[in-house]
Amino acid sequence: MTDFSDYVVVGAGLAGAATAWQLASRGHQVTILERNVPASHDASSHGSARIFRYAYPDPFYAHAVQESKELGDVLALDSGSRLITPAGAADFGVERHPRLLAGVLAAEGIEHELLGADEASARWPQIAFDTEVLWHPDAGVIDAETAVNAMVDQAVRHGARLLTGWPLQGLAKTASGYRLHSATGETFDAGNVVISAGGWLPGLLGELSLPSGFLAGLPEITVRQEQAFHFRYREPETATPWPTFIHKRADIQVYGLPGGRDADFAGQKVAEYNGGRFLPSAAAQTGDVDPGNRGRVVDYVRRFLPGLDPEPYAETTCLFTNTPNEDFIIDRVHNLTIVSPCSGHGAKFAPLIGQWAADLATGAANVPLRFRTATTAVSSR
Ligand SMILES: Cc1cc2nc3c(=O)[nH]c(=O)nc-3n(C[C@H](O)[C@H](O)[C@H](O)COP(=O)(O)OP(=O)(O)OC[C@H]3O[C@@H](n4cnc5c(N)ncnc54)[C@H](O)[C@@H]3O)c2cc1C
């Protein structure tokens, strides 16, 4: 027998969990179909550490972080979970433009300081700063996996169903919506579908009965197998705790943050931004760490992070799903909504992305047009 739900959300990473939470809490009938389990270890929302920060060169995003934080605070309260651990953020390097970021935070009324390199080095001797530094203390570390589970739990508490081990293979239009087919032979009917499949999206797009004009209007989506390394603190009890940081230079772009649970609370997670190899889709990932990337990050730690032992004690791979300008995709056609918020910075927006996606899927409100390039392309023809 084929089951039915008014709304089916495919994928229970941060985006799908947030959308299901928002839909279910508004009283809609929701089923989540997940190929593996929520916060799947081979997707993009697993583990304990993502940077939460307000610093963005584009004021649109600096503002959106504040909206997302408000929703996330409600989630933390309702679920009784700690989702963000304060750590602050240091942004530096010629290509990170700390002064420009300071201007954006000033306009948004977000507490910050612009420090000279020497001043910052005196405060954080564990980091070798090469330019002035933007510091904002309200940044921190998001526990991505706890956030996914909190949102799925809240969705279920509001009546949603979660079906795990349900890999969507494709769907076809019906008179009243869609019939979804799994790779394991099951079917599920839906009035509305939300696809939040992370790095699997490129492989699924051709199986979703999407109009060719809509497909052509989507931005190019690329998937990268990124890698992150954990380095032990030389002085675990250091008087100045480690902040999160983003350092952009002409030769390398690196981010780092306290690794938390993933790294036994003993070290800093450090990674090269967009340093991984391209994949046709998440299905092609191997989980193998590229020795060249490890070498670049170890070399970076030797040069810029004197407070860390430059020998990684743990390492992992993870998937970035990128658009060319790092804007998200939240677009809809024929009762089918596509949500892809990765590009390496989507975690902090998850609660707001859930709100946007639920608004769009239900027709309650539109979303910023920058996320709807496919619809814009179709309607401008
Ligand atoms: C290494 C790394 C570091 C990051 N750092 C930061 C950071 O510091 N700050 C920040 O804000 N953001 C960060 N991000 C980005 C953030 O984590 C992502 O934006 C977010 O996790 C994307 O969530 P998602 O739900 O789109 O995708 P995913 O988490 O990949 O979820 C997709 C889900 O869909 C499921 N699925 C796929 N195909 C199917 C199918 N056919 N049928 C059913 N289910 C399916 C998958 O199993 C998975 O559970 C980082 C990401 C990575 C990978």
| Interior angle at CA 11, CA 9 and CA 16, nearest 5 | 65
Pocket residue to mutate for ligand 1, from 257, 342, 343, 348, most atoms within 8 A of Cβ: 342
Residue 343: its pLDDT value, please? 82
Alpha-carbon radius of gyration of the chain: 21
CA of 130 to the centre of ligand 1 (A): 32
**Torsion sign, CA atoms 21, 22, 23, 27:** positive
CATH number of 3-46+146-219+324-379: 3.50.50.60
Which residue has 């998200």 as its token pair?
Answer: 328
User: Domain spans of the chain?
Assistant: 3-46+146-219+324-379, 86-140+222-322
State which of 44, 244, 277, 319 you would mutate to test the pocket of ligand 1, scoring each by most atoms of that ligand within 8 A of its C-beta.
Answer: 44
Helix, coil or strand: residue 33: strand
Atom of ligand 1 nearest to the CA of 257: 8
Q: What CATH number matches the domain at 86-140+222-322, 3.30.9.10, 3.40.630.10, 3.40.50.1820, 3.40.640.10?
A: 3.30.9.10
Nearest CA to ligand 1 atom 35: 11
**Long-range Cβ contact pairs of 60-66 (< 8 A, separation 24 or more):** 60/368, 60/370, 62/104, 62/105, 62/108, 62/110, 63/108, 64/349, 64/352, 65/348, 65/349, 66/108, 66/110
> What pLDDT was estimated at residue 244?
98
pLDDT of the residue at 35: 98
Question: Is beta strand 187-195 parallel, antiparallel or unpaired with respect to 178-182?
Answer: antiparallel
* β-pair type (336-340, 187-195): parallel
Residue 381 confidence (pLDDT): 63
Q: For residues 32 and 38, what is the distance between their CA atoms, to the nearest angstrom?
A: 10
Where does ligand 1 bind, in terms of residues with CB under 6 Å?
10-16, 33-36, 40, 43-45, 50-51, 144, 166-168, 196-200, 204, 226, 228, 318-320, 340-342, 344-348
Candidate from 200, 230, 247 with most ligand 1 atoms within 8 A of CB, to mutate:
200
Question: Rounded to the nearest whole angstrom, what is the distance from the C-alpha of residue 74 to the centroid of ligand 1?
Answer: 22
User: How far does residue 263's CA lie from ligand 1's centre (Å)?
Assistant: 20
For residue 83, how far is its CA from the centre of ligand 1 (angstroms)?
16
Print pLDDT tens along the chain (381 aa). 679 999 999 999 999 999 999 999 999 999 999 999 999 999 999 999 999 999 999 999 999 999 999 999 999 999 999 999 999 999 999 999 999 999 999 999 999 999 999 999 999 999 999 999 999 999 999 999 999 999 999 999 999 999 999 999 999 999 999 999 999 999 999 999 999 999 999 999 999 999 999 999 999 999 999 999 999 999 887 767 899 999 999 999 999 999 999 888 899 999 999 999 999 999 999 999 999 999 999 999 999 999 999 999 999 999 999 999 999 999 999 999 999 988 899 999 999 999 999 999 999 999 999 999 999 877 776
Query: For residues 360 and 195, is the Cβ–Cβ distance under 8 A?
Result: no
Q: Of 99, 93, 119, which is closest to residue 254 (Cα–Cα)?
A: 93
Q: Where are the beta strands (DSSP E) in the chain?
A: 3-10, 30-33, 50-52, 84-86, 89-92, 113-115, 133-136, 140-142, 161-163, 168-173, 178-182, 187-195, 222-233, 244-248, 253-258, 267-272, 277-279, 308-322, 329-333, 336-340
193: which 2 tokens? 């579908």
| Closest atom of ligand 1 relative to the 40 alpha carbon | 49
DSSP helix/strand/coil, 320: strand
